[in-house]
Amino acid sequence: MTGMKRSVYIITGLIAAILLVAGGCDKFRQYTNFDLGYTQQFTIPASSQLINLPFNVLTPDVTTNSESQYDNNGTTSKLVDNVTLTKFNLAINSPSQASFDFLKSLEVYISSPSQPEVLVAYDDNIPQTGLRSLDLTTRDVNLNNYLQDASYKVRVKAVTDQSVSYDVDVTASETFHIKAKLKNLFKK
């Protein structure tokens, strides 16, 4: 009889564990995770006299269009819990002989009409290896309020370690990871 009671307890425990896990999975289905990508082009000006001195490169405003992006992913801006920048890439478009060897370091800041500027990505030690594409280190900062605005602005602070006699045209690609509640499960 003792063995039979033990079997009943084990089976009851397994059923309870399965129900608990199944209930937990429903909670995961209440959330959505997705990425939003944005790009912009800008020019790093020739730097014949700015060696080892920081200078700023301003980029055009980026239109977020986030509310329609959120809607396409089953949520709204009011249900977004967290927005983090997970990738910031710079790629040289022209000239063909250019590389990022002239740069010593980069810092990238984001701001929006209703939000202050914040550091979101950087590279403090750019290698001198002929790279034409750089993936910067991103910071774990919640940028939810920045993407709720109609646009945001990126400012790049650069320090060069060699002079460059030509402008360098660059494309910046940003990937934001969004975690939000699904709108069909929660009241607005």
CATH assignment at residue 142: 2.60.120
Instruction: With respect to residue 94, please indicate whether it lies within any of the assigned structural domains.
Output: yes
Instruction: With respect to residue 10, please indicate whether it lies within any of the assigned structural domains.
Output: no
Mean of the per-residue pLDDT values for the chain? 86
Instruction: With respect to residue 108, please indicate whether it lies within any of the assigned structural domains.
Output: yes
Higher pLDDT: 20 or 66? It is: 66
Higher pLDDT: 29 or 28? It is: 29
Q: What is the pLDDT of residues 117-138, one digit of tens each?
A: 999 999 999 999 999 999 999 9
Looking at the 3D structure of the chain, how many domains does it have? 1
Q: Among candidates 133, 87, 132, 129, which has minimal Cα distance to 108?
A: 87
Instruction: Quote the pTM value.
Output: 0.80
CA dist 130 and 127 (Å) reads 8
Q: What is the pLDDT of residues 29-73, one digit of tens each?
A: 588 899 999 999 999 888 766 688 888 888 899 999 888 999 999
